Amino acid sequence: MLKQKLAVIASHPIQYYSPVFRTLALSETIELRVFYTWSQTAKGPVLDQGFQTAVKWDLPLLDGYTFEFVPNVAKRPGTDHFWGLKNPTLIQQIETWRPDALLVYGWNHRSHFQALRHFKDRLPVLFRGDSTLLGRRSWWRKFLRQHFLTWIYSHVDVAIAVGTNNRDYFEWCGLPPERIAFAPHSVDTERFSADPEGQDKRAAEWRVSLGIDPAAVVVAYAGKLQSVKNPLLLLDAFSALNDGSHLVFFGNGVLQSALRRRAAAHSNVHFLPFQNQSVMPLVYRVSDVFVLPSRSETWGLALNEAMACGRAVIASSHVGGARDLIQVGVNGWLFESGNLERLIDVLRIAASVGRQRLKEMGASGQTLIAGWSTVESARRISEVVATCSIAHRC
């Protein structure tokens, strides 16, 4: 069988995407090459503004697939602004490889958008993003945004949605249903679910080292300590419980000092620093229930990770993935974003049902998240490439 050559444009190696690329590279139908546009990341760690530290992931992100770093000549390199990726040779490098289809991750960087425009009608152009319609905007901002995005996505043949909220967004941007495919937003579920007995034992030892009673319910947050993630709301809600449960924050960020000051009087609130990827399966297992209280979160892959570790989950209504991943009362709970009283209620319910019931809910979530795997994501992307390549030839 002749393989379809798929060129992928991505900014830099990301721990969530590399497993999908490795799986695609093993496909019998796809020959893959990834073109990374933030070439500076090839040289080592770069500053992560959210964690306020230079991050170098401790898992291999470039093994198992073919890639090129495309020289980035932007004056201020980075992905935090449109002009941060300027790659004069990107189109030439892709055309030299002569792909059958192009998949672009994100349009809001100069080079990525230029590639969308250049390859439209030359190749099947696929797009991958996770934007949603969640969050409040004035009517005129919505109007202008919709018209602008309709023009942007007119350069895309098929958008590959990561979930239901993302599909709604693509439809709102003018793409008809037949031009929207689905491939689940995924994490390496096998890695997070591996060695459950060993990981649970080490997690129990970690809890003891923090002075946590073995019978106590533990609530956890893991991520950047910044306003958009709303960890202060979680702390305020937890502080109202006074029921013997514990709260553990894993991470760093601009709100770290404010959180520590506000929690100073609470011996059952614990702070641990940023943990690298190899440790994250253990991090989630320290908790009985994981909370993602974000004001705005296009997906929230921490939910996938926590569920793969067999943990019950709580998320705000502005976490994009919650719509697909949380079945209320079965594997977790939802609360209205920013609603302190509702979050207090949900935390009280979680603490009151006890560790055994939370474990059962976590098992339900682990079963659900198995369908949101790296393998499934790669399989569905392969199907889209095959269908689009045939249609383009015809």
Q: Are 301 and 374 in contact (CB under 8 A)?
A: no
In the prediction, which pLDDT does 389 show? Answer: 67
Task: Locate CATH 3.40.50.2000 in the chain.
Answer: 4-186+373-393, 189-369
Fold of 4-186+373-393: Rossmann fold (3.40.50)
Mean pLDDT over residues 1-6, rounded? 88
Q: Are 248 and 272 in contact (CB under 8 A)?
A: yes
Q: Which of 102, 210, 222 is nearest to 155 (CA)?
A: 102
Q: What is the mean pLDDT of the chain?
A: 94
**Lowest-confidence pick of 41-45, 74-78, 121-125, 344-348:** 41-45
Between these two residues, 347 and 56, which has the higher pLDDT value?
A: 347
Q: Are 37 and 109 in contact (CB under 8 A)?
A: yes
**Lowest-confidence pick of 3-7, 42-46, 99-103:** 42-46
Identify the sign of the CA torsion 294, 295, 300, 304.
positive
* 296 phi, psi to nearest 5 deg: -150, 125
Q: Are 355 and 294 in contact (CB under 8 A)?
A: no
pLDDT band at 394 (very low <50, low <70, confident <90, very high): very low
pLDDT at 371 over 50: yes
DSSP-assigned letters across all residues of 65-132: SEEEEPP---SS-SSSSGGG---TTHHHHHHHH--SEEEEE-S-SHHHHHHHHHHBTTB-EEEE----
CATH 3.30.70.20 fits 189-369, yes or no: no
In the prediction, which pLDDT does 392 show? Answer: 63
CA dist., res. 207 & res. 269, Å (int): 12
